[in-house]
Amino acid sequence: MWFVKTFASLLLITTCSCLLAQSNTESELAALMKKMLLFIKSERTALVAGKTPKKTSVNFEGIVTAKPTEGKKLLPNHAEQSVKLIQTIKAYQFSNNLSDKKLQFNLVINTCLDCHKQVCPGPIEAIEKNLLQLNGQ
Ligand code: HEC
């Protein structure tokens, strides 16, 4: 059994170095991604509390050009998918109505996941658990 676990973790390490990034070697893109995850978490807390936050200091636009970890290959359509994310975040921020904002929030998360399923599965669980249950909650 142990070797299955070892193999699985080796596989995870080789398919995605994302979770192993050390602060001194952290790429521009990885640093930005971490900020985005923090943003997502704090927005979620606010939404659950019934607030509709507007401002953020995260430079989402940077995801199109930020340099990835050395040796990390981006998707051929990385720019296109990044622009899609930026658009969903703008729509989310533009929205004032709480239930609409929750809907837009989940679209943001799903756009994160669309890319991560293809290029970097490591953080999927951490991203996915922020999805809001829409009906009733
Ligand atoms: C267009 C593709 C794409 C989209 C969209 C995307 N990511 Fe990423 N993400 C990446 C890539 C590529 C990496 C690896 C970066 C590196 O190693 O330099 C990454 C890395 C990460 C990491 C790991 C950072 C680390 O090294 O610790 C987290 C967390 C993350 N993303 C969260 C998110 C969140 C949250 C969203 C949505 C708001 C998101 N990502 C949207 C491609 C994407």
Tens digit of each residue's pLDDT, the chain (137 residues)? 655 565 555 545 444 555 554 556 899 999 999 999 999 999 999 999 999 987 888 999 999 999 999 999 999 999 999 999 999 999 999 998 999 999 999 999 999 999 999 999 999 999 999 999 987 54
Q: Which atom of ligand 1 is nearest to the CA of 27?
A: 18
Residue type, 37: L
- How would DSSP label each residue in 79-112? HHHHHHHHHHHHHHHH--SHHHHHHHHHHHHHHH
- CA–centroid distance, 33 to ligand 1, in Å, is 5
5: left (phi over 0), alpha (psi -120 to 50) or beta: alpha
Break the chain into its structural domains and give their ranges: 27-128
Phi, psi angles (nearest 5°) of residue 29: -65, -45
Mutation pick for ligand 1 pocket among 24, 67, 120, 127 (CB with most ligand atoms within 8 Å): 120
Buried b (16+ CB within 10 A) or exposed e, 107-131: bbbebbbebbeebbebbeeebeebe
Ligand 1 close to Cβ of residue 111 (< 6 A) = yes
Provide the whole-model pTM. 0.86
Cα–Cα distance for residue pair 131/49, rounded to 1 Å: 15
Residue 115 structure tokens: 């890319």
Cα 131 to its chain centre, rounded Å, is 11
Residue 4 structure tokens: 């299955």
